[in-house]
Structures are given as C-alpha cells and as structure tokens.
A and B are shown apart, each in its own frame.
Chain A
Amino acid sequence: MRSMHDAKLLADSISKSYSRPGEKNFLKVLDDIRFHIRESEFVSILGPSGCGKSTLLNILAGFETADCGDVACCGEPVKGPSPERAVVFQSPVLFPWLDVKDNILYGLKLKKEDRKESEDLASVYIKAVALDGFEEYFPSQLSGGMQQRAALARALVLRPKVLLMDEPFASLDAQTRYSMQQLLLSLHGKYRHTMVFITHDVEEALLMSDRICIMSKRPGRIVEEIDVPFERPRSLSLTSTQEFSILKTKIIASLMG
C-alpha cells in the first residue's frame, strides 16, 4: 500500500489562483492537485502549455505558496526553497560571474562542508555531466547544452532528496536535447535520484519516467496517472517500438481530453 510515510514528496490538494489586474474574478491555475512520489522514482508532470505545471513546480520548490493544500518532503512540510529540493530551471540560470567549478561549488560552500571533500564531490559531478576540462570556463563561454549540464551538476552535487526539473531541455535544439535525455537517463540509472520532471513533450515523458501525471488545461488538474512499463536502462531506440507508440497515442488522447 502507498502510504503518506513512504512518500518522498507529497502534494496534498494544492490549489492556486492568481488575481488578474483590472478583473474581479481570480484566475484559477491549479485545482486540487494531489500526488506522491516515492524514493528513486522518476515522475513526469505532463501538460499543455499554460496548464500551471510550472506554477506547480514553483510551489514544490517553495518559491511560491499554494492558496490551500500542503506540500511535504520526507514528511516535513515545505516552507521555502531548500537544497533538499534542488531545481533545474528551463534556462541554466548559472551565476555569470562564477566559472563552472565555482557555480557547482556554490551550494556546497553555503553548506560549509569540508573544502577538500566539496572539491572532490564537485569534480565527480563535473565528470558525470562530461564538463571535465571546462571547470575554469565562465557560463558565457559555454554552449546552451553545456550550461544546462553545469546547472544539472550544480543541483546534483547537493545530493537533493528530490530533484525538480522545469522543462529543462525545452529551449535546447533537438540534437542537444536527445543527448541531454540520454545523459539524464544514465545519471538516474547511476544515482537513483527522486525526480520530478515537468514537460510538455509526450515522448520525452515516456522515455524518461517511471510514472506520468497528466495535467488538464487550466485550471490544472491531474486527470490521469500512467505507469510506464518499459525496462531500464532505456535508450532512444525505445521511442521507435510499437508499445511506445501505443502508449504515446493513449497519452495524447488523454491530453486532448
């Protein structure tokens, strides 16, 4: 049985509305969102643009507060942003005045961990995202894909309880996106992070996740949860199998409502 206690991340009846300038009624963005995510699970939140999935991620991260409902991480209520719930944004959002290594060390320095250990840990993750040799580069000297890999390492190095990703590959070109998906798949295989992955891309959700929560158009509600049956490790060739196409068609139908 799934219980509240083995949930790594729990969202309980979250609702959120925004007031619109010049209008009396509120714009309801999220309506009674509930889900829970287990240890090491990779869950995608899939929805059309404007369905409030980024708002949902902001609430999970603690950047915004829900009007009602609760978010809990490992049984603790979420009160604000924390390295326990590290975020990879749609754009890299690296600190432009720090080089790759210092960007990745930033969170560890704040944790006041041992310098030597931090450096070692940083170089492990720099290698994991294949940025070794680029430690001294500044973000502006890197391509978009490399910047996003640095952002990924910056989050992973903190060993978060949950990694929150907000359409992290949406602004990359197709080829870079494929290689980033590959990379994330292998990282998840290696470190088994608990992941919440926001996307509007059905194929991406199917390829990456253990489970997909499908959101409706505004106000966003979770209309269906789909367990993804494919074995891991997965690779891009999965996307050309028949089972994949069947599931994809089913999800698209569900998205169209």
Chain B
Amino acid sequence: MSERNWNTDIIGFILPALIFITWYLVTLEGKVPGYLIPSPVNLVRVAVDFATGYANLTPYGGTLPAHALASVQRVALGFGLAAAFGLPLGFLTGRINLAKSSLDPTVHLIRIIPGIGWLPIAMVWFGVGETTTLFLVALAAFFPIYVNAAQGASSVSPLLIRAGRMLGASRLTLFTTVIIPAAMPSTVAGLRLGLGISWAYLVLGELTGVTYGLGAVMMDARMLGHVEMILVPMIFIGLLGRVSDMLLVGSFKRLDMFREESKQ
C-alpha cells in the first residue's frame, strides 16, 4: 500500500523534472536567448536578490517585502469585502425565499458578465490603480462565496432543522447553531474559490497601473526588459496564493479544534 503511494509520488515528479532539465539544458547551450527564457540558475539568483537585495542584480533588489505587502493587503481587503457581503447574502438567499427571489436573479445576471469585462468601466469610475483593483477583486470573489454559501444553506437536511426546532431553537438561533455549521463544508469551498480568484484579479488590477504590488513589478519589468523579473513575481504570487489558501483552511480547522477544546 505505502509502496504504491510512493511509486505514484515518484511518477508525479517525472514530468516537472524533465521540464526542468530541458529548461536548464536549452538555456545552458544558449539555443534560446536569455532575454526570452532566463536560465534557472539566473532566475533563482534574481529571485533571492528580489527578496534580500544582496547583490542588486536588478533595480528591484530587496523590494519584495514592500511589493508583497501591497499585494497581500489588496487581496485581504478585496476578499474581506467579498466575504462580508457574500456570506450573509448567501446564507439568506439559501434559506429565505423572499431573499432568494428578490436577489438571486440579479446576482446571476451580473455573474454572467466575465469579471475582466468590468475593467474598462472600473477605470472610468475609480481611475487607474488602487480602487479599481479592490473593486475587481471584491466583485470577482463575491460570486463563488455567495453561490456556495447559498448552496450550503439551502441543502441543509430538513431533519436537522426539525431537530434544532424541537430542541428549542428560535429562527435566529437555528441560523447560527444549525444552518451555518451545516453549510460550512460548501461555504469553505466557496471561500477557497473566492480567495483563488482574488489573486487572479489582483494581478489584473495591478497590471493596469499601481506603483507597488507584484503585478506592477511584472509590468514594469516587461517595459524595462528584465525578463527574470516578469517570471519571479509569478512564482511569488503562486507561493502567496498557496500559503493564503493553507491559512484559510487552517483557520477553519483551528475553529473546529477550538470548538473541541472549549467544551472541557
């Protein structure tokens, strides 16, 4: 059993290893010019320099913390806004018919328009940069959060609701003690989707013109011809996206653990 898992793990590494070796070889031989694809060694050096500024290999040496902080703040704020609206509205439409019939059609109508399609009008409304980015992130992340919270709340087993009611739950306590906990798996899935989309729209917003942010570095580096500094922020965005997802999942696990501990 464990041996089999080990084998499949190995198989999963073959393709990335081949790609890496090929990448290394083509850049080593100089078959592909460095201004199109930098060598992995060079990329790692620039990445470390971006983080620490040890050799100032590029004009961006040592600026990672400032750019990453700007990006993380935008994601946190945009995602926070999306969750602040998406969760309560989702739970309400999932349970209350009046809320569903008055809100749901409009939300789904707006949802049909791809998020990217909002970019030009957002630039007209909010100008290039900060607010536009926030608007795009919040708007795009709202939909999966809302839809999944609603789906989770509406599919709570009617028997659980009956159990709650006969044990003395009022309409409000039923919401907080039965419906929301029962809707949690779907809700967390929605939050994770929303967080992933937040990072995607963050990059879109930052590409359009902010001073600080990983997306801004990529666009700036493209104009200045630093191809490594286009790729390096991509890697850090991927890492930050993964870390933020782990933190999100972890905090819900922690919540469960806290619940388990609190009863002693």
**Interface on A for B, CB 8 Å cutoff?**
61-63, 80-83, 85-87, 89, 91, 93-97, 99, 101-102, 106-107, 110-111, 136, 154, 158
Contacts and interface: CB of A to CB of B under 8 A. Distances in A.
Contacts of A94: 163
Given A86-B167, A110-B167, 7 more contacts: A82-B166, A83-B167, A87-B162, A87-B163, A93-B159, A94-B163, A96-B182
Main SS at interface, chain A: loop
Given A99-B263, A106-B167, A110-B168, A89 B159 contact: yes
Contacts, number: 62
A86 B163 CA distance: 9
Interface stretch (B129-137, B173-181, B241-249): B173-181
B253 to A, nearest CB: 13
A63 B161 CA distance: 10
B263 A101 contact: yes
B168 A82 contact: yes
A111 B170 CA distance: 11
Nearest to A107: B167
Interface string B91-121: 0000000000000000000000000000000
A111 B168 contact: yes
Q: Chain B contact residues (Cβ within 8 angstroms of A): what range?
A: 20 to 34
A2 B222 CA distance: 92
Contact of A97 (B162, B164, B168, B184): B184
Contacts of B256: 97
Interface string B141-170: 000000000000000010110111111110
Residue of B162, B163, B181, B263 most packed against chain A (CB within 10 A): B163
Contacts of B259: 97
Contacts of A62: 166
B178 A95 contact: yes
A63 B162 contact: yes
A86 B181 contact: no
11 contacts: A61-B162, A61-B166, A63-B166, A86-B167, A89-B163, A93-B162, A97-B181, A99-B263, A107-B167, A110-B168, A158-B167
B165 A80 contact: yes
B165 A99 contact: no
B263 A102 contact: yes
B3 interface: no
* Closest 9 A/B residue pairs (Cβ): A107-B167, A81-B165, A81-B166, A110-B168, A83-B168, A93-B163, A97-B181, A93-B159, A87-B166
Given A97-B182, A101-B263, A86 B169 contact: no
B161 to A, nearest CB: 9
Interface string B236-264: 00000000000000000000100110010
Contacts of B157: 93
Nearest to B170: A110
Contacts of A96: 182
A97 B164 CA distance: 13
Contacts of B162: 61, 63, 81, 87, 89, 93
